[in-house]
Structure 1
Amino acid sequence: MLRAVRERDAYANLVLPSLLREQRLAGRDAAFATELAYGASRSLGLLDAVIADCAGRPVEEIDGPLLDVLRLGVYQLLRTRVGAHAAVDTSVDLVRSESGTGKAGFVNAVLRRAAERTTEEWVDKLAPRDPLGHLAFEYAHPVWIAQAFADALGARAGELRDLLAADDERPVVHLVARPGEITAEELALVTGGEEGRWSPYAVYLEGGDPGKLEPVRDGMAAVQDEGSQLVALALTRAPLLGPDTGRWLDLCAGPGGKTALLGALAGIDGYHVDAVEPAEHRAELVRKATRDMPVTVHVTDGRDSGLTPGYDRILVDAPCTGLGALRRRPEARWRRTPADVRDLTVLQRELLTAAYDLLRPGGVVVYSTCSPHLSETVAVVSDTVRRTAAEQLDTRTLIPDVPDLGDGPAAQLWPHRHGTDAMFVAALRKPE
């Protein structure tokens, strides 16, 4: 999996499940393979700093296949309970079988040096001296992302250590029970999971392959972070001016998770959802996710959709850096750059403006991102409010019984506070 990510920019969370099935790994073996693969991907910055120090050269000068093995070996030494001898010996054997004795000797030497210090000792030796840089190194985050998190926490930036630690842990699997098909209580009983804390449709699973669960195979449930469920529910709860005529729109629908929850809820009330997705392959994912629901998929650009205005409720779950979902996308933190933020904020503003234009007077648009970066969240919403005179609602009231959502009027979820991805949610109503 590490090779697929390194060589062809593959997505770890898409590659690994198919590899586990292909190799017929299950139970503890699958769990251990997942921990090694995802853990090494998340910890890349820390691992590479240790490898470079032990090898006496930058990691860019180490052959890629050897680097993959070194990362797996150092991860086991520093971040698992695997014995040092086992971690070194299996790594050396792997290299010897593929590349010969010479390169195996190099890997052996590097890993033995890495094993001479504990994780804490390596952090003390290699981490930057400034507090933010030290925390970012310790919890394997690029400094610019740690700074963005601190900025978004604002007056509660003292929680940064807890946030980075939560972001560096293996997350619990969240399921969503399809409204009208199965309740969360029933889904928890069938799967052996636990009912969620915040969403009435959420169930937590400790591990395993959710794709093998019967309710998931039958379309009665799906994998969806509880924070994403709360975003969709906020749209349905937002107070309109005038009656809800049942015209709902998801302007950034792919791959279809939030669209499916909206579609299920719309079906109960006899409403209809239009879903916009510009890429055909992602539009097909939306169609599959919303099969037998009152959802129409439009393959078009949300900035110029050609749809007829007059929608009651519109969701803009905008493309973003994904900084709030790094724990579920282990390699993403090392791929993103500050330049991505600049490119995406232009798109985000255009999408929110297009959605606002499609609203009827008295209708509501909910803007969300799976990123807490202030440029992608507060700045985009503030700019739209300034240009359109939209009324910004207190979004926290649309996510009831969930504490610590921020100072308002927008709401911010956090992994360390809520156990969800760091979803940002804002609601704007068009004046009559």
Structure 2
Amino acid sequence: MNDEQQRGGYRDERGRQRPESRRAGGKNRTAVRPADRRRGGDPTRKAAWQVSRAVAGGAYANLELPKVLRAAGLHGRDAAFATELTYGAIRMRGLYDAIIEFASGRPVSQIDPPVLDTLRLGAHQILGMRVPPHAAASETVALAREVNGTGASGFVNAVLRRITERTREEWIREVTAGRPRDEALAVEHSHPAWVVRALRGSLRSGGVTDEAHLEDALVALLEADNAAPAVSLVARPGLATVAELVEAGAEASQLSPVGAVLPGGDPADIPAVRQTRAAVQDEGSQLVALALAAAPRDGDGPQEWLDLCAGPGGKAALLAALSTSQQNVTVFVNEVNEHRTELVRRTMRAAIDAGAEVMIGTGDGRELGAEEPDTYDRILVDAPCTGLGALRRRPEARWRRTPADVGELTAIQAELLASALDAAKPGGVVAYVTCSPHVAETTAVVDSVTEGRGDATVEDARGLFRDASGSQISDLGDGPTVQLWPHVHGTDAMFFALLRKTVTS
């Protein structure tokens, strides 16, 4: 007997208690309509449910989904449907949970988690996809019968039939009525309320909108977080070209000089991607690596570049590829986790084969400054962060982070930046990068570190951000730091600060 049955069975659309089954003619007959009684769900919906359950157990959707799709033999349109269903149900669960609570008459905390995942998948088909409501409900009931059991399928049927009675807009009005503004936005756009407040503060301080347009900008950002992002590719210079990616079916990026966008299909089908001469990488991540490589350098002679916390190695691989066009550059790559260090080695394979001088090691970046002071010409600090800038690509991230994480991470970020400045040569540059626009993780960290020492200055980095035509990218903020935005630039919300270590006499 499952938890739902222990609580006394399920309730119909009007909230009436309903038995698990009725005995008639010696057979158990469920409360599901006869037309809905199929023995099992279709493979696409089952795959989405399996990924949802894995994510509930701590997995990452972007890593789990390809494995499940391969195991189920899903390709083409079926794989695309399963992907949209999986990501949408996870991403929009804040809204769907509020609707499910209303439609079921009980808190979602009182619904078995496996059944709740099934309901979320059904809700997304009804309210967020172009699936006819009756088909969405009946297919989800069939899935519930297979993965949750016959009794649960009756409950799923009752809740989903109730959800089909209203449009998405009508449900939003119902579940947001009477809530304070930020809480209403949090429900409607399926973000935790603390994240909505943090993004509001980031926009207010970011210099790309004024107070009169702040509300519109916030809504646009929340909507962008919930839009499925395009697959962005990077052609690692000297190893692949944008033209090669275009020939393979991609479209040249207008934003990144080394970028392309894949409108459909599997990136792994492209030879350059399989050979790590190209890779899947957000255009914002491409731009920050390009900006560090383009920063003016004091002095001549051999250079030593460092990626202080590199895993899984995408930006380090781009820096290594860029280094091959310059003489006497050695790229040092550090990662604190041995497993991720192995990922870095695989990511860097093509650059190393092409002649890039690369040294890869494992260690705590917070200690490197003391161990190797005044050593490196260019240092990238791609600091661990909340990831609030990549919510489009990581649908589960918004539900796993808490406000308490911010304080823990900012302490690590400050230590890494201070270590990088110690490790930089006088006249060298340090790029501090986060995939989060949260003020506490961006300008506040930079200010806290630079105010405590007299050997670092923050330079205006906006001129280093150039699009594919060579023009400076607009709407980067008031400077001297740079903030990219999903709703403005179509990238992850990458933050970039360029610090130069002062030459002391």
TM over 0.5: yes
The residue type paired with residue 62 of structure 1 is I
1:4 to 54, 69, 83: 54
Question: 2:188, 2:106 → 1: CA distance?
Answer: 21
> How far apart are residue 143 of structure 1 and its match?
1.2
1:85 equivalent in structure 2: 134
Deviation per residue, 1:282-315 (Å, 9 max, x gap):
0001111112232111100001133353211000
How far off is 1:99 after superposition?
4.0
Tell me, yes or no, if the aligned pair for 1:175 and 1:204 is still in contact at 8 Å.
yes
Q: Which residue of 1 aligns with 2:446?
A: 381
Matches within 5 A, 1:88-107: 88-107=137-156
- Tell me: CA distance 1:78–1:354, structure 2 relative to 1, closer, same or farther (3 Å): same
* Distance (Å, rounded) in 2 between the aligned partners of 1:152 and 1:383: 17
Q: What code does the residue aligned with 1:113 have? A: R
Question: For the structure 1 residues 148 and 105, does the alpha-carbon distance in structure 2 shift closer, same or farther, using more than 3 Å as the test?
Answer: same
Tell me whether 1:116 sits opposite 2:165 in the alignment.
yes
Residue matched to 1:342: 407
Secondary structure of residue in 1 paired with 2:257 = coil
**2:231 is equivalent to residue 176 of structure 1:** no
- Write the distance in 1 (CA, Å) between the matches of 2:174 and 2:70: 40
Between the aligned partners of 1:100 and 1:313, the Cα distance in structure 2 is: 58
C-alpha separation in 2, matches of 1:407 and 1:333: 28
* Equivalent pair of 2:373/2:422 in contact (CA under 8 Å): no
Matched residue, 1:228: 285
C-alpha contact (below 8 Å) 1:353/1:384 kept by paired residues = yes
Question: Does residue 447 of structure 2 align to residue 398 of structure 1?
Answer: no
Tell me the alpha carbon deviations over residues 138-173 of structure 1, each in whole angstroms, 9 at most, x when there is no partner.
Answer: 111111111111111115423111111111000000
The equivalent position to 1:322 in structure 2, one of 387, 393, 409, is: 387
Say whether residues 1:279 and 2:330 are aligned partners. Answer: no
* More deviation, 30-39/95-104: 95-104
Contact 2:374 2:426 in 1 (8 A): no
Q: Distance in 1 between matches of 2:146 and 2:491?
A: 42
Amino acid at match of 2:389: G
Q: Which amino acid in structure 2 is aligned with residue 360 of structure 1?
A: K
Whole-Å separation in 1 of the counterparts to 2:326 and 2:478:
33
Q: Give runs of aligned pairs for residues 261-300 of structure 1, distance below 5 A.
A: 261-270=318-327, 271-291=329-349, 292=352, 293-300=356-363
Q: 1:98 to 1:284 in 2, by over 3 A?
A: closer
Read off the aligned partner of 1:218 and give its amino acid letter: Q
Structure 2 partner of 1:141: 191
Q: Which amino acid aligns with 2:284?
A: G
1:240: how far off?
Answer: 2.2
Compute the RMSD of aligned alpha carbons. Answer: 1.3
State whether residues 202 and 438 of structure 2, in contact with CA within 8 Å, keep that contact through their aligned partners in structure 1. yes
In the alignment, what sits opposite 2:26?
Answer: none
Preserved CA contact (<8 Å) 1:179 1:265:
yes
Q: Aligned equivalents of 2:148 and 2:445: distance in 1?
A: 51
3-state secondary structure, aligned to 1:276: strand
Summarize deviations over 1:297-343 as a string: whole Å, max 9, x none: 11000011333532110000000000000100011111110101010
The answer to whether structure 1 residue 198 and structure 2 residue 269 are counterparts is no
CA distance in 1, matches of 2:234, 2:332: 21
Which amino acid counterpart does residue 303 of structure 1 have in structure 2? R
**Range 361-370 or range 112-121, more displaced:** 112-121
Q: TM-score, normalised by structure 2?
A: 0.83
Residue correspondences, number: 430
In the alignment, which of 67, 70, 92 is matched to residue 21 of structure 1? 70
The answer to whether the 8 A contact 2:232-2:281 is kept is: yes
Per-residue CA deviations over 1:73-127 (Å, capped at 9, x if unaligned) read 0111111110111111011111223444322111100001111111111111111
| SS of match in other structure, 2:441 | coil
Contact kept, 8 Å, 1:246 with 1:266, in 2: the verdict is: no
Q: Percent identity?
A: 55
Shift of residue 244 of structure 1? 5.8
The amino acid of 2:221's aligned partner reads L
Aligned residue identity for 2:451: R
* Contact 1:245-1:312 at 8 Å conserved across structures: no
State the one-letter code of the partner of 1:214.
Answer: P
Looking at structure 1, the residues matched to 148 and 375 of structure 2 have their Cα atoms a distance apart, in angstroms, of 64
Give the Cα separation in 1 of the matches to 2:295 and 2:341. 27
Instruction: Select 1:207's aligned residue among 259, 264, 278.
Output: 264
Q: Distance in 2 between matches of 1:311 and 1:163?
A: 37
Identify the residue that residue 251 of structure 1 maps to in structure 2. 308
SS state at 2:440 partner: coil
Deviation at 1:243, TM superposition (A): 2.6
Q: Aligned partners of 2:489, 2:197: CA distance in 1, in Å?
A: 21
Q: Distance in 1 between matches of 2:301 and 2:444?
A: 29
Does residue 413 (structure 1) correspond to residue 413 (structure 2)? The answer is no
2:189 is equivalent to residue 132 of structure 1? no
Of residues 66-75 and 154-163 in structure 1, the stretch that sits farther from structure 2 once superposed is 154-163
Give me the whole-angstrom Cα distance separating, in 1, the residues matched to 2:452 and 2:382. 20
Partner SS state of residue 17, structure 1:
helix
Q: Which runs of 5+ in 2 are unaligned?
A: 1-50, 467-471
| Kept after mapping to 1: 8 A contact 2:89/2:121 | yes
Contact 2:381-2:431 at 8 Å conserved across structures: yes
* Aligned equivalents of 1:386, 1:369: Cα separation in 2: 20
| 2: CA distance, partners of 1:380 / 1:335 | 22
User: Contact conserved, 2:373 with 2:424, CA < 8 A, in 1?
Assistant: no
If you compute each CA radius of gyration, which structure gives the higher value, 1 or 2? 2
CA shift in 2, pair 1:244/1:252, >3 Å? farther
Higher mean C-alpha deviation, range 124-133 or range 272-281: 124-133
**Deviation of residue 133 (structure 1)?**
2.3
Of 211, 214, 221, the residue aligned with 1:163 is 221
- C-alpha separation in 1, matches of 2:84 and 2:100: 20
Q: Deviations over 1:250-293 (max 9, x none)?
A: 00100000000001111221311111101100000111111223
Bigger drift between 194-203 and 307-316 goes to: 307-316
* Contact in 2 for aligned 1:175/1:202 (Cα 8 Å): yes
Where does residue 365 of structure 1 map in the other structure?
430
- Within the candidate set 489, 493, 497, 1:422 is matched to 493
| Alpha-carbon separation, structure 1, partners of 2:247 and 2:55 | 36
Structure 1 residue matching 2:118: 3-state secondary structure: helix
Task: Report the 3-state secondary structure (helix = DSSP H, G, I; strand = E; otherwise coil) of the residue aligned with 2:379.
Answer: strand
Q: How does 1:23-42 map to 2 (within 5 A)?
A: 23-42=72-91
